[in-house]
Structure 1
């Protein structure tokens, strides 16, 4: 059975921290691939600042060059809020030969009791909790803990730096940086 990790999120924009989490999880758990899965409308956050097509393009650019990383747009094609249970049910039906590992930050580990259909979801996927400063991985749910180098970067911080005309070099990949400039994303207009 193939072992695939899923890293979901708004990726508004995707940054180096996402790539570090994905690569460290892939290596430590000996996963074949990591699928980056941008959400359409996440149930636990406000709407993204950019559209699903733009965020998918940025993820595509961010993962280019790593043969173990893939963009999966299943959630961006769905209207309304993206619930992990619905996504995993479809993916398991389409890929019965894959064992999925769903990668979440420690902030989401604390939020697991509030996830839609969490008990049924646990039958479809193995959760992987990534340590994050200021949050605990303590939970009654079965998760695999992964240590990754702490990289204090957030999409919010990157958007604020762009608005304040500060450089974001080395916080995002060069191809994402180029796309952000070309499209003038997150700039005050």
Structure 2
């Protein structure tokens, strides 16, 4: 049974921290593939971000460095709100025999009970969470505690052992705006950014 990880994010821009975590998930969970899922353009227009086609292209460039990494535009091409539950359902249909892992951060895990149809979501896939500074399972709210008590011993929840790299997307965008370069971005991605003059006037 193939094991496939689904790793969503804004990826604005994708950087070495994202790639480190993606590879760590693949290593610890023995994943055949980690599918990077850049988020679509915000339909409510309140959160500015780099256009989806650029973020998708940067993710595709970055993924070429590791054969286990792939990229999907699943969350970009859908109209309106994109719920993780629906994304997982789409991949469940594409890979009915696969063991699907949803790859998220600890901060997101602690908010899982607020997600759209979260209880059905956790029946459709397994969850793996990467550490986040200031977030740990001891902070889990009551609605999650009974699920956590079952999911951990059943192997349906994995807490990543690898530590994240101390890299901030907002700091990288600031660096790109002022210095037009960053050591935290793969050279090929940096080349794309410079070619298309992205982040030239973005401070955050």
TM-score by length of 1: 0.92
Distance 1:12 1:5, change over 3 A: same
Where does the alignment leave 5 or more consecutive residues of structure 2 unmatched? 152-156
Q: Which of residues 161, 176, 180 in structure 1 aligns to 2:189?
A: 176
Tell whether 2:42 aligns with 1:14.
no
The answer to whether the 8 A contact 1:41-1:82 is kept is: no
Task: Tell me the distance in 1 between the aligned counterparts of 2:108 and 2:170.
Answer: 17
2:195 and 2:71 map into 1 onto residues whose CA distance is: 21
Secondary structure of the structure 2 residue equivalent to 1:75? helix
User: Runs of 4 or more off by more than 6 Å in structure 1?
Assistant: none
> Structure 1 residues 150, 88: CA separation in 2 closer, same or farther (over 3 Å shift)?
closer
Larger RCO of the pair (alpha carbons < 8 Å, separation 6+): 1
Structure 2 equivalent of residue 76 of structure 1: 76
Q: Pick which of 72-81 and 52-61 moved more.
A: 72-81
Cα separation, 2, equivalents of 1:80 and 1:67 = 32
Distance in 1, matches of 2:196 and 2:21, equals 27
Aligned ranges for residues 50-69 of structure 1 at < 5 Å?
Answer: 50-69=50-69
Shift of 1:98: 1.1
Partner of 1:163: 177
Q: Which residue of 2 aligns with 1:185?
A: 198
Aligned partners of 1:66, 1:46: CA distance in 2, in Å?
34
Question: Which deviates more from structure 2 when the two are superposed, residues 17-26 or residues 136-145?
Answer: 136-145
Number of residues of Structure 1 aligned to a counterpart in Structure 2: 187
Q: Give the superposition deviation at 1:147.
A: 1.4
Instruction: Quote the offset at 1:181 in angstroms.
Output: 0.7
Q: Deviation per CA, 1:54-78: give whole Å up to 9, x if none.
A: 1000000111121111011111111
Aligned residue for 2:104, secondary structure, equals strand
Kindly indicate which of the two structures has a greater share of residues assigned to helix: 2
Deviation string 1:100-154 (CA, Å, 9 cap, x unpaired) is 1011111111211111110011111111011111212343243211111331112
Change in CA separation of 1:136 and 1:117 when aligned onto 2, cut-off 3 Å: same
Structure whose alpha-carbon radius of gyration is higher: 2
Partner SS, residue 25 of structure 1: helix
Cα distance between partner residues in 2 of 1:47 and 1:97 = 37
Secondary structure of 1:76's partner?
A: helix
TM-score between both structures, scaled by the size of structure 2: 0.85
RMSD: 1.9
